[in-house]
Structure 1
Amino acid sequence: MLLIVIFFDRLSNEVPYFKQKKDALGRPGLSALQKYTAAIRLLAYGTALDAVDEYLRLGATTARLCLEHFVQGIINLFGNEYLRRPTPEDLQRLLHVGEYRGFPGMIGSIDYMHWEWKNCPTAWSGQYTRGSGKPTIVLEAVASYDLWIWHAFFGAPGTLNDINVLDRSPVFDDIIQGRAPQVNFSINGNEYNLAYYLTDGIYPKWATFIQSITLPQGAKAKLFAERQESVRKDVERVFGVLQARLFLGIKEK
């Protein structure tokens, strides 16, 4: 509720479209609350644009503009804070915590979940439905120990698995394009400059992915598997929090 109030306050004061104006006769036009409520209802219920006509006295065209300006306003006002890559300071903090937890060089856990698409068009249902289930959209996320999602890739069809989603994901774009911050750490006397993520067994065996041991043999292997699986639960906790707080239609893999 607090976030909703903060969003409304900033949108109504800093986005020109949400400021109440007067028409040619001097009568007040639509209020910021009407426009804001229309956008929220369209996002929350996925209804048609004219569904808010009787409730908020808005036509379909105006409702579409409310939604477009709301989304763009949120990106412009909060994007630099919440939709960003880790800064060098963030990376140092993540590396420090990873080393303290027994994984030097680890900067997060990566995984994906299925988001149920209630209003999926019938023509697209085959592309987004796996088996006999309901249409879903894949949400890939990299999360840290404090539930910070610093990478999110949303929109892949639910018929894809982790590897297919990874092929489409921009998670490694900074590395490929040479814009990734330098990371240096040491393990067993060897120096490394490429950070890694904790994953489950389906991800490819790349240097940037550290998986658990499927059938650990011996005390050392069992300890590693136990620690890896424990720390990798960070991203699972994130999905659980999203489901609990935002009542999202998130399903298990």
Structure 2
Amino acid sequence: MANYGPYFVQTRDGTRRVSISTEQKLTCAMRMLAYDITADFYDDYLDIAKSTAIEILDHFTKAIWNVDKRHYGQCYYLVDGIYPKWGSFVQAIRNPRTPQRQHFTRMQEAYRKDAERAFGILQARWAIIRGPTRGWSKENLQYIMMTCIILHNMIVKDEHDEDAADPFNPNDIPTRPKKAGIYARPKIDTDVNRNPQ
């Protein structure tokens, strides 16, 4: 992260003391996202003040976009009929009559369910999404949400790469009984030479 944002590089302050380390900053940001621990907790745990913890999370959520190197543009939201008819809300068509509209409605409902399941997975992994917003601004909430999505995708990609590097072998399952083998007994020389010369 220090390669993508100068904020995360450890420096010295005005009194020539070493500032908070990169690892402390990353630990603080990741724990705030994963466990939704209040910012003042880090004063005791990592010796980081509440305002500094909030600042770290703010910098982290903005720097993660540079790490991922993807651009996320305008968003559209797949919603059901209870939402207002806004341009960014895509609702299913009530009583579709043509085959094209029926297909659109089926696909829209399927994707909306997929999005709801994905959001449930994000809520399970990142506690900051589960809880109340605690006074974050709309801009910060957007950065926090996108950071959780980007980190989730990075974790999934890393797990996928790990699985690809080490393919599944059913013989590696420890609970599966292995075939018994008969081994030849090793031959040991038991002759003792009592008169060495």
TM-score using structure 2 length: 0.49
TM-score using structure 1 length: 0.39
Q: Which has the larger radius of gyration?
A: 2
Write 1 or 2 for the structure with the bigger share of strand: 1
Write 1 or 2 for the structure with the bigger share of helix: 2
